[in-house]
Amino acid sequence: METPELRKAMWKHIRENAKKKCIFIDFVNGHKDHCHCLVSLGDDQTLRQIMQLIKGESSHWINKESLLKEKFEWQDEYFAVSVSESLVDKVRNYIKNQESHHAKKTWEEELNELIEKFGFQKFNDSSVRRSVQ
């Protein structure tokens, strides 16, 4: 999603569609190659279900509307961490400032820093989990 206008349209669509599906997205934003969603899961929702609904429907929408020349699809994997209530504002601000943040470093660079800093591990199924020692 190369242009800021297209990204804004996508984030708006994700938020509106999530609301229809009773998914509470507190904040959504991203950059050219990724999206961040601050989500509060309901007691009957799983992260996997939410990600399938958000990613599947939004890629369907962008292709149906022919907003890109080529077919759009999200990557299969995703990265998720829980956030304590005391850090929600900090996370919201981080998500809000993606454009300026990623002018300095790529998502891949940032992911690798998180993995090293917090002891996460990449697994063969492309997921990332916290290493317990």
Report pLDDT digits (tens) over 16-59: 999 999 999 999 998 888 899 999 999 999 999 999 999 999 99
CA distance 44 to 53: 14
Answer whether residue 133 shows pLDDT above 50. Answer: no
pTM: 0.79
CA distance 98 to 82: 19
Which residue ranges make up each domain of the chain?
4-127
Query: What is the CATH architecture assignment of 4-127?
Result: 2-Layer Sandwich (3.30)
User: Under a CB-based contact definition with an 8 Å cutoff, are residues 23 and 54 in contact?
Assistant: yes
Which band of pLDDT confidence, cut at 50, 70 and 90, is reported for residue 131?
A: very low
CA angle, 46 as apex, 82 and 97 as ends, to 5°?
A: 40
Report pLDDT digits (tens) over 85-104: 999 999 999 899 887 777 78
Specify the pLDDT at position 76.
85
